Structure 1
């Protein structure tokens, strides 16, 4: 399974890993809020419980310039090789994430005050991912 998401809404790779872990956990316990593991990953990143809003905010669109591709269960790399042929663009190293992300957009999506900086915002976003099932 794979997923693509708008790279500019992702603060750090660790946040994506936390969301992926949540998605896999939900799938393992038959508690997906969405219909697929890929959609659950995108949903897990969102601060809201609205699936449609999550997909619009964190998913890709025709106008997306940078995407982050996440692949689940690709031990031999065959899915990645097949997918790479379908992407019109060039791969970038993950350390470029900080130059592509849009800090202002992330603050807006998570409704954060200006007092948050790039270090403290990660903690806040991770807390929201972990607590998503307990907050209504």
Structure 2
């Protein structure tokens, strides 16, 4: 499945959850998207099974962008303590954003995906935050 189809599927799943009174405020829901770095190579070496992608999403209601960023960094650090094999540790790339006022689920998910792609492009094993509203930037 290509990434556009996956994004559409995720946007449909989020659509009902993003209609909230807090949208566009400092306590609006945040979305964290992540994936295991170099999962294909890891799968080839170790043979781990997977159901679909190497990615995951967390919808974080009422936390605020700074708290969502902190959670993402804690996840990244925690996973980084795990050994993939004798030669390397696991790592995560993560993207974080917050629901903007009047925003659609597709826009919300798209910005989180853009943040995740930015983390990958900058060398992986990092968290990138893209705020819908710079007033609430982490």
Query: Which category describes the TM-score, using the shorter chain as reference length?
Result: under 0.3
Structure (1/2) with the larger strand percentage: 2
- Between the two structures, name the one with larger relative contact order (CA 8 Å, sep ≥ 6): 1
Normalised TM-score (structure 1): 0.24
